[in-house]
Amino acid sequence: MIERDTERLSIRTQCSLLSIYRSGIYYLPKGVSESNVTVMRMIDEYYTQRPYYGVERMTKRLHRDGVVIGHNRVRRLLRLMGLVAVYPKRKTSNKHPEHKIYPYLLGGVQIERVNQVWSADITYIRLSKGFVYLVAIIDWFSRYVLAWSVSITLESQFCVDSLEEALSKGKPEIFNTDQGSQFTSAEFTGKLKDAGIQISMDDKGRVFDNIFVERLWRSVKYEEVYLNEYVRVRDAVNGIGAYMDFYNNERLHQSLEYKTPAEMHFGKLDICYATRSIAEAGKGSHNTTEYHPKQPLFWS
């Protein structure tokens, strides 16, 4: 926790020691009404179950539950949550008109080895009275989560930070994302180009390009987020951190012939990493840097 009134350490020094950004301390988020938060929680669950629900279907689904809401408000909340229905459409709502869009490189490609293809995606994570965003980078072959990060905004920096951490562990031949502004930014694509990685972006209307990350989101939400009530951002960070350790090192995947992602990625269970994770989880610590010290952490 940052101590604002201490004379021993400046806020700059405290943030440096905790590996967090000062912008997260000074940032004053715009308030979201309680009614919008309630509707957003409902939209999150509907979207996780039916990611192909667009504005029209989402509005009708809310009406069936007695929510009086119009299409424009639903559209605005979907954009705020960073959600786009996975069905063929003319354009998405979160592109940046000045960012370069790279071609899709994975048509007909067989995924046969670790570090052949990585991908990244962002999802909405609810809190009891608010929300945050989660980005994850995953290896397509092993389903191993190489890096993840939490932010209170959709600015690109938390995605760049996760990319830096993932690249410290290896390098893919191809990196695939959607055409969201966080992934088309010069900072994000520049690091990929500097590392000699081919950049691939989902074509318009392609439904299943990032299916492995979508499956990760379903697991994270049904097996962790919806079972807990995160009050603060640090609660979400600790809960998601513990789950990501479990997902990588203990969760058996039917599609992987009941092996763990770590076993597929490294050829065997990453014993040292798993042992460290279990030991830390047993401490019950609420330190926000416990699981991911390089990520940009913010809390309210």
Strand partners, 122: 135
Look at the block and give the residue holding tokens 């379903």: 218
Q: What is the pLDDT along the chain (300 residues), one digit of tens a residue?
A: 455 555 566 666 666 665 555 555 444 445 578 888 889 999 989 888 887 788 999 999 999 989 999 999 999 999 888 877 764 443 333 555 567 899 999 988 999 999 999 999 999 999 988 899 999 999 999 999 999 999 999 889 999 999 999 999 999 999 999 888 999 999 999 999 999 999 999 875 455 566 888 899 999 999 999 999 899 999 999 999 999 999 999 999 988 999 999 999 998 644 444 333 333 433 333 233 333 333 333 332
For residues 269 and 166, the answer to whether their CB atoms sit within 8 Å is no
Sign of the dihedral through C-alpha 209, 211, 217, 220: negative
Q: What is the largest CA-CA distance in the chain?
A: 61
pTM higher than 0.95: no
SS3 assignment, position 161: helix
Judging by DSSP bridges, how do beta strands 174-177 and 117-127 pair with one another? parallel
- DSSP assignment of 68-94, as one string? ---HHHHHHHHHHHT---SS--S--SS
Distance CA 283, CA 286 (A): 9
For residues 83 and 43, the answer to whether their CB atoms sit within 8 Å is yes
